[in-house]
Amino acid sequence: MIALSSAVEPLRMANILTGESVYEWSIASLDGTPTSASNGLQMSPTIPVDGIGAVDILFVCAGVDVQSASRRKSSQRYAGSRATGTSRCAVYRGYALAKAGLLDKYKASIHWENLSALREEFRGSC
């Protein structure tokens, strides 16, 4: 939940402060169904992941158990953003982007606690 709020709230506040709809966002889940956060609250997606068209920035918000949620099939869905030149940002865990191959040949930052595990699993790309 904190990852999602950290991505959406600055955009919402920018809209309020400017008095305009400078930013728009959609919430998507991997399978199009509501997703529970680690605090038990559920988020209902506004569109399925497959419905995401061209976007300026793709925020991937993940929680503490992102490895089990980042199945190969679901990770490939993110790969479509490669072709559109979309900027990618993982909030809280970069594992989902690395699993989808979206960090290959890109510089990225990650919390030091997760760096060794990411390097171990993705040796050629980190």
Residue 48, beta-bridge partner list? 29
Tell me the domain boundaries of the chain.
2-121
Superfamily for 2-121?
A: Class I glutamine amidotransferase (GATase) domain (3.40.50.880)
Q: Residue 76 in contact with residue 83, Cβ under 8 Å?
A: no
Instruction: Encode pLDDT of 20-48 as tens digits.
Output: 999 999 888 877 889 888 888 988 888 88
Cα distance between residue 50 and residue 115, in whole Å: 30
Q: Tell me the pLDDT tens digit for each residue of 2-18.
A: 888 888 999 999 999 99
Cα–Cα distance for residue pair 31/55, rounded to 1 Å: 19
- pTM (predicted TM-score): 0.68
Give the separation between CA 76 and CA 24, rounded to whole angstroms: 24
- pLDDT, tens only, 41-95: 988 888 887 787 778 887 877 766 655 555 544 555 555 554 456 676 777 666 7
Question: Across the strands, what pairs with 28?
Answer: 47
